[in-house]
Amino acid sequence: MKRYLVLEDGNIYPGQAFGASASTIGELVFNTGMSGYQESITDQSYNGEILMFTYPLIGNYGINPDDSESSTPSVLGVVVHELARRSNNWRMNASLDDYLKENKIPGISGIDTRAVTRHIRTKGAMKAVMVDEVTKNTVSDLKNSTLLHNQVETSATDEAYTVPATGKKVVVVDFGLKNSIIRELNKRNCNLTVVPANTDAKTILDLNPDGVMLTNGPGDPKDVDALEMIREVEKQVPLFGICLGHQLFALANGADTFKMKFGHRGFNHPVRELSSGRIDFTSQNHGYAVDSESLKGTNLEVTHEEINDHTIEGIRHKIYSAFSVQFHPDAAPGPHDADYIFDSFIKLMEDNDKEKAKNEKN
């Protein structure tokens, strides 16, 4: 069946329908990963977006029950050049087509994704819609539409829950977390309490945590009401932010964020640690970044930068035991170069405990 990908600037790309029925308006973005389509589709950071894969063949190993980054995907659509006619993997329990139908997500194949990606890189990410029929009002309706805001409300947990272990007590503030973050903290034996995005500082500190983690999540960080909580928590316990958590940490400490032209979405982004010169290839998924000029006059300093465009990839507080990174050290999917960042968080909590014990002894 015919389906069309329509961009707000009037460009129309014909293709073939798969997945659920069409008519989904969202921001069209592209991901450059060569694998990991299941993890990307189930990443809550794509809430409100139509996800286009630049790798030409998608769906060849199906969908399996273990690799999802969230239980309910919130991506608004999937665009591919070629949908695999047969999926084959011993772990799979559904094809990509069936999975999208089950979760009411439309897809379109047969698109020249290379051409569309080049267009977005030139013009910037923009509104798009999938339709089964183009009418004279399709483009004008698209231009007049409004994109989703504050997607964190539909991506984060509504109720607190625990993931027990015997190590450090960590409160994880969920803005749309990936399961891989939980797995990485679990590997380090952290005793986790996951709380909703709107949890206040008192509630968090009453849990007596050794540290607090700010997760990834979708949308504009300025839509999220968490800055006062961050300002209170960072004074008391070590704090670590990833992706949206990184942007919120920056905003809470007087810096600013901006919307990028087309963002970073893929698994091959080179990041330099400024203190050592170490370069890691990282997994990333974000359309906003911290403004480097806005750090002047704050208590924040840059720790990491993206090599290609020199955007900020990591910051730390000059006074408090708090830091954040824009990339995903949990790397699901993607390279595991930067998973040592979780170890840095553990060490920060251990050092804080030693300092507290020293002060109590004196």
The residues that are catalytic are: 243, 328, 330
Which amino acid is residue 107, in one-letter code? G
User: Is 245 annotated to bind ligand?
Assistant: no
Q: Nearest Cα to 307, choosing from 334, 261, 269?
A: 269
Contacts of residue 16, defined as CB under 8 A and 6 or more positions apart, other chains included, come to 1, 2, 3, 83, 108, 109, 110
217 annotated as a binding-site residue = yes
Question: Which residues are CB-neighbours of 261 under 8 A, at least 6 positions away?
Answer: 121, 124, 125
219 is known to lie in a ligand binding site: yes
288 annotated as ligand-binding? yes
211 among the known binding-site residues? no
Q: Distance between CA atoms of 129 and 139, rounded to whole angstroms?
A: 9
Which residues have a Cβ under 8 Å from the Cβ of 352 and sit 6 or more positions away?
Answer: 210, 211, 237, 238, 321
Distance CA 79, CA 73 (A): 15
Q: Is 287 annotated as a binding residue?
A: yes
Q: Residues annotated as binding site?
A: 45, 217, 219, 244, 247, 285, 287-288
Give the annotated binding-site residues for L-glutamine. 45, 217, 219, 244, 247, 285, 287-288
